[in-house]
Structure 1
Amino acid sequence: MNLELRHLKVVCAIAETGSVTKAASALGLAQPALTAQLQRIERTLGGPLFERDRRGARPTALGELVLARARVLLPAMKGLQDEAARLAGTGTTLSRYRFGGVNSPLIGRLVHRLAADQPHAQISTYASWYVDELAQMVLGGRLDYALAGVCGDATPSAEFGLTWRAIAIDAIFVVLPEAHPLAAVDEVSLAMLRDEQWAVAPGDGCFGDCFAAACARAGFTPRKMYETDVRGCLDLVDAGEAVALAQATFRPFSGLVTRPLADAPLRWRLLLGWHPDAPAARIADRVLGHAVAAYTDSLHRNPDYLAWLARNPAFGPQQMAAA
């Protein structure tokens, strides 16, 4: 592992708070994740940086050396970034925007809004099945922003040091063929689907612990699952061989319908992520605003979901809520 500025920030935070637990809270990380990160830093530097006991964490001689250097390097790097931003005149815009998305329903409308707002900017997109892949690319400077999602109250891994903010919370609906007996039902309980086979796309999604737990609460274990790409999932549903889960903003093609799951047992948080030390961080709030507006645009084309949101106000756009 190569030592990076974010690692120096971790060391400084532990020294300033006198505790790994307090530093984790200050940095918005889980304590085990910060402990693991400190251990990797110590292995890279060749020895322990802190003596830890009931009274907290105190720097070792090696720790004092690292802190002395960090307290020079971190302000110098911040000054460099500020001066570069002023010189380039890019304090409120970027010349290029590189987005990565995991099955993102927002990417088209977000690109459209951003291109209208900044017609001379270069905009590119990258697709992945996995949040960690996108986070690694943001950390490595190959992407500026990651559009991702997590099921329920889960959060992306803190290992990559990204800042995550919530765009919206979507309900998870079930996708059925029009001829399915439950297609005429206003809301479908998960228990009604106990005998169904399921179609699932690979990568991050609700088909995991959240889904298994929701099915268990409904009193059953899900039957066979077919894993294929998104189009393959819809083909399986259209053929009557399976049902599928989808974000409520999904607009199915002819022959398929979406129905709400009663009591909303599954929810999907749409997130925007960026690295706090990257130039993208300076205008992240502006990009987040475009993302929320793009999500809102998608709602206007889905009157049934708008009506559902009126009855379930905990879902929908989250404005500037923290992830």
Structure 2
Amino acid sequence: MDLELRHLRIVRAVADAGSVSKAASLLGLAQPALTAQLKRIERLLGGTLFERDRHGARPTRLGELVLARARVLLPAAKELQEEAVRFAHAPSPGFRIGATNGPILGGLVDRLATERKVSTYTSWSARELNGMVEMGRLDYVLTGACGDSGTPTGTLLWETISLDPVFCLVRDAHPVAREKEVELADLADEQWAVTPGDGCFADCFAMACARSGFTPGTIYETDVPTCVHLAQVGRAVVLCQATHQAAPGLTMIPLAGAPLRWRQLLGRHPTAPEAAWVVAQAKQAHMDAVRRSPVYSDWLVRNPGYGTAP
């Protein structure tokens, strides 16, 4: 016989009532039946739980241990049951999407919200978001990885939404701002800004710089508004996804030869709702972002093999 919640309820009832007879009355049982059950529980737990005499029943040291656990487990079990009932009868939560910094989340939410309720959670950490999907706290995660890295490991199911080059943002007055594209080596003396992440992008950037013959200077790892500001005041060149929409005062320029590439990925829980439709909407959102970027659209004409995944 295994220990069950009903056994803990009996132990708690006897302790709260102070005697087996009073506990039996409260539980609606005959005293002999409750006494027999209590003995079976004591055999299961390996010792006496109560010292009983004409004054009532008092917990033994083992009884105190069991009671301490019971007073935690029983309310927790009740709360779990109530929460499960509420969840089962609640309206559909819709799509729960997590995302790192990226230019297509807004478009995806806009498309999904035409059919279902959408909630979002953003983080710089793809690992955090992946874990939340694995635990069932999110349905989908929109994230990315360096072009040559593998698909994330774990229990999630993954779709490639796009393969994009990494471009750079410079202020309009920058010497290269009127160029069609720029060699990475021509930016060797610059400071850099990039949004944070827990993937391999920093290492890939360092290797790309090494292949171009230089070691990058200061790299500001910060949020999007700060990256934009540093570029606008001429403090840094910003590395950005090609679908990024340049802010006023900034020009987006392709890096010659696409030395850095970025894959947009959509991961999902195995039970995520309407997976095929959500994947299709993510790809459409990416296509929309490409159409809004004349620089990227023009670049794609000259560089087939990139853009939205088929």
Could you tell me whether the CA contact under 8 Å between 1:101 and 1:148 is conserved in 2?
yes
Residue from 140, 143, 162 that aligns with 1:145: 140
C-alpha separation in 2, matches of 1:214 and 1:279: 37
> How big is each residue's C-alpha offset from its partner over 1:57-95, in whole Å with a ceiling of 9 and x where there is no partner?
xxxxxxxxxxxxxxxxxxxxxxxxxxxxxxx9xxxxx75
Q: Give the aligned partner of residue 219 of structure 1.
A: 213
Could you tell me whether the CA contact under 8 Å between 1:168 and 1:317 is conserved in 2?
yes
Alignment of 1:169 onto 2:163: yes
Could you tell me whether the CA contact under 8 Å between 1:131 and 1:156 is conserved in 2?
no
Could you tell me whether the CA contact under 8 Å between 1:172 and 1:267 is conserved in 2?
yes
Q: 1:240 and 1:289, CA in 2 relative to 1: closer, same or farther beyond 3 A?
A: same
C-alpha separation in 1, matches of 2:234 and 2:203: 26
SS of the equivalent of 2:288 reads: helix
State the shift of 1:105 in Å: 1.2
**Amino acid corresponding to residue 96 of structure 1 in structure 2:** G
Could you tell me whether the CA contact under 8 Å between 1:210 and 1:266 is conserved in 2?
yes
C-alpha separation in 2, matches of 1:256 and 1:205: 27
Alignment of 1:259 onto 2:253: yes
Residue from 106, 111, 126 that aligns with 2:121: 126
C-alpha separation in 2, matches of 1:295 and 1:216: 31
User: TM-score w.r.t. structure 2 length?
Assistant: 0.68
Q: Give the aligned partner of residue 84 of structure 2.
A: none
Could you tell me whether the CA contact under 8 Å between 1:132 and 1:157 is conserved in 2?
no
- Larger mean Cα displacement after TM superposition, 310-319 or 148-157: 148-157
> Mind listing any 5+ residue stretches in structure 2 that lack a counterpart?
1-87
**Amino acid corresponding to residue 292 of structure 2 in structure 1:** R
Q: Give the aligned partner of residue 244 of structure 2.
A: 250
Moved over 2 A (4+): 204-207
State the shift of 1:254 in Å: 1.0
Q: Give the aligned partner of residue 230 of structure 2.
A: 236
State the shift of 1:300 in Å: 1.6
Residue from 295, 299, 302 that aligns with 1:308: 299
Alignment of 1:199 onto 2:193: yes
C-alpha separation in 2, matches of 1:213 and 1:169: 19
**Amino acid corresponding to residue 222 of structure 1 in structure 2:** P
C-alpha separation in 2, matches of 1:318 and 1:166: 7
- The number of residue pairs the alignment matches comes to 220
> Mind listing any 5+ residue stretches in structure 1 that lack a counterpart?
1-87, 89-93
Residue from 258, 278, 288 that aligns with 2:279: 288
User: TM-score w.r.t. structure 1 length?
Assistant: 0.65
Residue from 131, 134, 140 that aligns with 1:136: 131
Could you tell me whether the CA contact under 8 Å between 2:146 and 2:201 is conserved in 1?
no
SS of the equivalent of 1:208 reads: helix
State the shift of 1:226 in Å: 2.0
Could you tell me whether the CA contact under 8 Å between 1:152 and 1:210 is conserved in 2?
no
Please list, as runs of the form range in 1=range in 2, the aligned pairs for 1:170-189 lying within 5 A after superposition.
170-189=164-183
State the shift of 1:122 in Å: 1.8
C-alpha separation in 2, matches of 1:227 and 1:307: 29
Q: Give the aligned partner of residue 97 of structure 2.
A: 99
SS of the equivalent of 1:174 reads: strand
**Amino acid corresponding to residue 247 of structure 1 in structure 2:** Q
Which structure would you say has the larger Rg? 2
C-alpha separation in 2, matches of 1:143 and 1:279: 9
Let me know the Cα RMSD of the aligned residues: 1.6
